[in-house]
């Protein structure tokens, strides 16, 4: 079993829909990252969370440390949001090493 599990693996939505991507982990962490990987492969860091909730534009990320679960929400989705969204956890110890989920491929249709 992977240490970081994401669901769903694939997600197709219509433009304007509210999107939720889930991430569960089974190890002790110091932080959790949400990353966006575009078709060309480049990766952008969206959020780093250690507790609570963060918002940036139409993106919202939450984390529940007790339940070892995080969610990434996209409001008013747009075709340009189409990408692979990756959850990654930073293991306890402060090394900044990341363990990655397999990613969720999001396709937003116009």
DSSP, collapsed to helix, strand or coil, labels residue 102 as coil
Cis peptide before 44 (omega within 30 of 0): no
- Closest approach of Cβ 18 to another protein, in Å? 26
Q: Is 21 in the site for another protein (CB under 8 A)?
A: no
DSSP secondary structure letters along 56-90? ETTEEEEEETTTTEEEEEESS--GGG-EEEEEEEE
Residue carrying structure tokens 């829909």: 17
Q: Is 60 in the site for another protein (CB under 8 A)?
A: no
Comparison of 78 and 97: residue with beta carbon closer to another protein: 97
- Closest approach of Cβ 27 to another protein, in Å? 14
Q: Is 41 in the site for another protein (CB under 8 A)?
A: yes
Q: Within 10 Å of residue 82's Cβ, how many Cβ atoms? A: 17
Q: Which of 66, 80, 96, 110 binds another protein (CB under 8 A)?
A: 96
The CA dihedral of 57, 79, 37, 2, to the nearest 10 degrees, is: 90
- Closest approach of Cβ 55 to another protein, in Å? 17
Q: Under the rule (CB under 8 A), what is the footprint of another protein? A: 2, 4, 31, 33, 35, 40-45, 48, 86, 88, 90, 95-103
């Amino acid at each position: 079993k992977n240490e970081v599990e994401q669901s769903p693996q694939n997600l197709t939505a219509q433009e304007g829909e509210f999107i939720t991507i889930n991430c569960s982990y089974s190890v002790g962490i110091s932080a959790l990252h949400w990353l966006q990987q575009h078709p060309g492969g480049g990766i952008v860091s969206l959020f780093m969370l250690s507790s609570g909730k963060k918002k940036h534009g139409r993106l919202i990320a939450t984390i529940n440390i007790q339940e070892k679960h995080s969610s990434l929400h996209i409001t008013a989705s747009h075709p340009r949001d189409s990408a692979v969204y990756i959850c990654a956890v930073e293991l306890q110890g402060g090394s900044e090493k990341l363990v990655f989920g397999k990613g969720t491929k999001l396709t937003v249709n116009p």
